[in-house]
Structure 1
Amino acid sequence: MDAVLARMRTLERRLPAHDGVAVFNRVYLTVTEALHHGFGAGEFPEPRRAEALTVRFAERYLAAVDAAAEGRRTPACWRPLFQNRRHPGVRPLQYALAGINAHIGHDLALAVVATCRAQDCPPRALEGDFDRVGDTLVALEERIREDLMPGPDLLEVADPVTHLLGSWSLQRARDGAWAAARLLWTLRRTPELAAEFAQSLDASVGLVGRCLLTPLAVPAPRPRAVTAAPVPWR
């Protein structure tokens, strides 16, 4: 867990503040620090197992960061964020929720299955830990929206932001991740079907991410200088 936190803090120092990945990283670092505190405070009945799930979960995000930095292809769920991380028409709140969508909608399900394999237990044994991790995320979502929602000086985009992001729910994404994890666990003895489902999940979550990153306010181009034609004397 300490190594995961150290990586996120390093990214926070190195990435430009307005970079879309930096926006998500700040949010995720806050979540991970809250979970780390919860492990030490006795908020989880099986803290080692919950920490194992949290670490495997975080490592999928960090692997996507490494892939992008090295010019390798990132998972489809992360591709919209990395491709649009400096778009002038995308707001910080969109970056944060696009990252959460990728991480919850795709990575969480795979992290549950990987943890179950390592711990030699079915998903139901992790359900309590899964719920507590999800509760931490949901509790922070409202604060994230309040902190990153455009202020009064950006009222012209407030309505589009509200409309676009109101169609996405962390709770629904969490429920979908749990259903996907259970299905992947059921398919573990048919690797081809499991891989096909995981690929489809990756693509569908990536499509949602592209919608969340729809540009809402692109600066108008500067008008080109126009030279008036001379008026002929009559």
Structure 2
Amino acid sequence: MARGEQVHTPVDRVVSRMRALDSVLPRRDGVAVFNRVYLAVTTEAGRRIDAGPLGGKGAAVTLNVVFAERYLAAVQAVSEGRCPPACWRPLFQFRHHPGVRPLQFALAGINAHIGHDLALAVVDACRTLGCGPARLEDEFEQVGDLLVSLEERIREDLMPGPDVLQLADPLTHLAGAWSLDRARGAAWTAARALWALRGLPDLTEEFTERLDTAVGLAGRMLLTPLPD
């Protein structure tokens, strides 16, 4: 490799695609709000992978990339006039609604990506690496820890503070009804179930479809338009 030549990893490539989206989407667009959140997560994940032990990088890169690619595939489907997974449809349907606040867009995107995409990404990574979910538990927890820390920052930046008037804001109650920690626990259970069902394609398809629909329903509720 020539001196000064930059190495582009698979994580770098998905980050570049998110940055390209960030440069063209209107700032108030609901998809843009989530994309900024996820760009920050993926960039930080790439830094942690680079700083981590060499032996664990392959699995971490694989999980983070197949995870990100599920979100990017949903964006591409919409841009091509195709229907995205049910979990993503509320965000794309309400992305320009004036009564939906930025925090709602961010949480709805995280809900879709954690509740549905993360479980499927674990299975995708297991197939790529030739291992079971237990082998990826540490990498899964690292992704979850990053998202929890980011969710805390999102709530601090985008949600009203805890004074008396703001406690009455419907956004405070709506956002408080959803928990990323519970969502990632459910995603791990779903990943293990899908792996156990991998030899039963009909049941796998039914389980995946129902998971997608349920997560989409939660996303629709998170995007309930609120009064100013």
**TM-score w.r.t. length of structure 2:** 0.91
TM-fit CA distance, 1:217: 2.0
Letter in 2 for 1:21: V
- Which of 81, 88, 101 is the equivalent residue of 1:91? 101
SS in 2 for 1:188: coil
Paired residue for 1:112?
122
Does residue 210 (structure 1) correspond to residue 220 (structure 2)? The answer is yes
CA distance, structure 2, for counterparts of residue 93 and residue 76 of structure 1 = 20
SS in 2 for 1:201: helix
CA distance, structure 2, for counterparts of residue 128 and residue 49 of structure 1 = 10
TM-fit CA distance, 1:157: 9.1
Query: Cα–Cα, structure 1 residues 151 and 171, in superposed 2: closer, same or farther, change >3 Å?
Result: closer
Query: Cα–Cα, structure 1 residues 51 and 114, in superposed 2: closer, same or farther, change >3 Å?
Result: same
Conservation of the 8 A alpha-carbon contact between 2:87 and 2:217 = yes
Unaligned runs of 5+ residues in structure 2 are 1-10
CA distance, structure 2, for counterparts of residue 89 and residue 43 of structure 1 = 46
Equivalences for 1:100-179 in 2 at 5 Å? 100-150=110-160, 159-179=169-189
Paired residue for 2:24?
14
Paired residue for 1:185?
195
TM-fit CA distance, 1:43: 6.5
Conservation of the 8 A alpha-carbon contact between 1:157 and 1:217 = no
Conservation of the 8 A alpha-carbon contact between 1:5 and 1:29 = yes
CA distance, structure 2, for counterparts of residue 50 and residue 26 of structure 1 = 21
Conservation of the 8 A alpha-carbon contact between 2:100 and 2:226 = yes
Paired residue for 2:40?
30
CA distance, structure 2, for counterparts of residue 147 and residue 65 of structure 1 = 25
Conservation of the 8 A alpha-carbon contact between 1:157 and 1:216 = no
The Cα offsets for residues 141-200 of structure 1, whole Å up to 9 and x where unpaired, read as 110111112589xx6796201111101000000000000000000000001100100000
Q: Aligned residues: percent identity?
A: 64
SS in 2 for 1:8: helix
**TM-score w.r.t. length of structure 1:** 0.89
Letter in 1 for 2:71: Y
SS in 1 for 2:169: helix
Does residue 82 (structure 1) correspond to residue 86 (structure 2)? The answer is no
CA distance, structure 2, for counterparts of residue 20 and residue 158 of structure 1 = 24
